[in-house]
A and B are shown apart, each in its own frame.
Chain A
Amino acid sequence: MSLRAPTPLTKAEIVAEAKRLGAVLVGFAPVGRWAEHGDLSWEFDPQRLWPQTKTVIAIAIPSLLPITEATAPAVYRSQYTNTNQLLDEIAYRLSAFLNRHGHAAFNICRDGYGEGVMKVRPIAVFSHVWAGHYAGIGEVGWNHCLVTREFGPRHRLVSVLTALELEGDPMVEENSLCNKCQLCQKACPTQAFSGNRHKDRRSNMNKFACFSRRDKFKIQQACGYCLKVCPVGEDRKLYQSLKVNHYFEERKAYFAANKISLDPVHPLNIET
């Protein structure tokens, strides 16, 4: 086994390899976009992580809407675990592909936390969401998720950093996907989002509120209300699930049937 001298690779070849490995959406972000747009502090610039970074390759695979909207713990958890593992494998193997062609590259794992660490320091080493934003896969929406044309926010992300210079993909025009309808904010069982849609580009997010639900219901780790409720995404049409109001009616019906007052922290589907 010996490493080769750099062999030219085109974006089309990299995309083809990523898709062969399981990627669905692939975008390229020149590293300069982090400083140019200034959404994140320098600490979260890819070059802080690895000074040789020239391009970030963002990769997304979908979370399937019927599973996301059922908010059923076992299947939701299984989808989450499976997509995590697939993402890591795609990104690792795409890095191997680039290294094999003489272009230094490595993958950043899709989920940057040990168990319980989120409660202490709820910041990951690298933001795949912003990488997806700068790579033109989607735009960061009101709910702080990357909203894509194909799947709305119903997908998961991973990134590969490489020293290979590649042309960036065009970024999504601001507010062309997320129009700040704020349904995510209304549906959130923990009221994690707040803000003024006329003044703010996106909501303020209380991450601790978001995790509180996870802690409260331990094994039943299925939330994703801010994902399922988002009206954006071609997947809504594919799965014939266009009426997002349905989720709100379900909530009212559930509370009425169980004669309980509207407690936003109470999960809709908890088995009692």
Chain B
Amino acid sequence: MPRTPLTKTQIIAHARDLGAESVGFAPVSRWDDFAGVPPNFRPRAIWPLAKTVIVIAVPLWLPIVEAAPSQLGREQYIITNELLDEVSYRLAVFLNRHGHAAINLPRDGQGEPEVLAETPTAIFSHVWAGQLAGLGVVGRSRALLTKAYGPRQRLISVFTDLELEGDPVLTEDFCGDCHDCEKICPSRALTSQPGKRLADFNLAACAGEGKRLRVAFRNPCGFCIKVCPVGEDRQLFGSTNTQKYFDEAAALAANPNAPEYQDWLHIRKYGGFPLPEDPISIR
């Protein structure tokens, strides 16, 4: 197949037409000396032809994320997963059709939560790829934080042998020192160590909570992403008071019909099975 030139603008336009919200480019050399990703998880180790990693993000809607755990949240997770897989697969086909070899990496490299317990590492980190492609910065909770949606988006990557200019890596660190993700985590999976920017992550604890919610069709948890004060979406959706999440348990204990929480309680009530700790408590 002859190679037809393709510009970044054309690739972005096609990806957006397929459903991508934002698109970033990272030359594979950016992984070479990057300590965040071990050598055998870098693009060239996975696929030797890779020259550029194209990272794609689609957002999660705050009003659904903040009502978790709910079946509506689970469906949002499924919808975005399906969309990501479709966008990245079709973008790879688009590149191949123009003579540039490309493959899409799966958006979620694990099977069920049980697999996470045995093999707690995905084939490739889309989160670090997102940082290296200039979409955002990895925050304390180890999610990618973007200016637009904070940690409320899902990611996928396409590897291609087409050389493309990388997007500038963000230099501003907009993950502050609030530790709110760590404080709100119901499974205590995040633990900050003095002097370390990222929290230590206990994946088994996180997966355990996911499993508990999944039985009720109400996974994923997503407390660490709802609580994050970063993101212009907070303004857009009119939900800027993150203290509300911490006050919830006490407010509902005092008055189960507290009007400011009725929307979330409604969303949690339908579509999934009740959970023993409904409404959720903040520990």
List the interface of chain A (C-beta within 8 A of B). 1-3, 43, 48-52, 85, 88-89, 92-93, 95-96, 99-100, 102, 104-109, 111-117, 120-121, 123-125, 163
Which of B72, B146, B149 lies in contact with A108, CB distance below 8 A? Answer: B72
Q: Is B266 a contact of A1 with CB atoms below 8 Å?
A: no
Please state if A114 and B58 are interface contacts (CB–CB under 8 Å).
Answer: no
| Shortest beta-carbon distance from A52 to chain B in Å | 6
Q: Which 10 residue pairs of A and B lie closest in terms of their CB atoms, listed nearest first?
A: A114-B217, A109-B75, A106-B61, A1-B22, A125-B270, A112-B271, A3-B232, A1-B148, A88-B79, A3-B148
CB 8 Å contact bits of B204-247 with A (1 = contact, 0 = none): 00000000000011100000000000001101111000000000
How far apart are the CA atoms of A163 and B82 in the complex, in Å? 26
Q: Which residues of A have CB within 8 Å of B63?
A: 50, 106
Rounded to whole Å, the gap between the CB of B107 and the closest CB of chain A is 15
Q: Among the listed B61, B82, B236, B238, which residue makes an inter-chain contact with A85, where contact means beta carbons less than 8 Å apart?
A: B82
Cβ contacts under 8 Å, A107 to chain B: 61, 79
Given A112-B71, A125-B271, A95 contacting B262 (CB threshold 8 A): no
A257 to chain B, nearest CB (A): 42
- Separation of A120 and B22 alpha carbons in the complex (Å): 41
A-B contacts, 23 listed (Cβ < 8 Å): A1-B21, A1-B136, A1-B146, A1-B148, A3-B232, A3-B236, A50-B63, A52-B238, A88-B75, A89-B19, A89-B83, A92-B83, A96-B21, A102-B236, A104-B236, A113-B217, A115-B217, A117-B71, A117-B273, A123-B270, A124-B271, A125-B270, A125-B271
Smallest CB gap from A111: residue in B: B75
With A1-B21, A112-B71 as given contacts, are A125 and B267 in contact (CB-CB < 8 Å)? yes
Count CB-based A-B contacts (< 8 Å). Answer: 110
- Nearest CB on B from A13, distance (A): 17
Task: Count B interface residues, CB 8 Å.
Answer: 45
| Cβ–Cβ < 8 Å partners of A92 in chain B | 76, 79-80, 83
Q: Which of A89, A93, A99, A108 contacts B236 (CB 8 A)?
A: A99
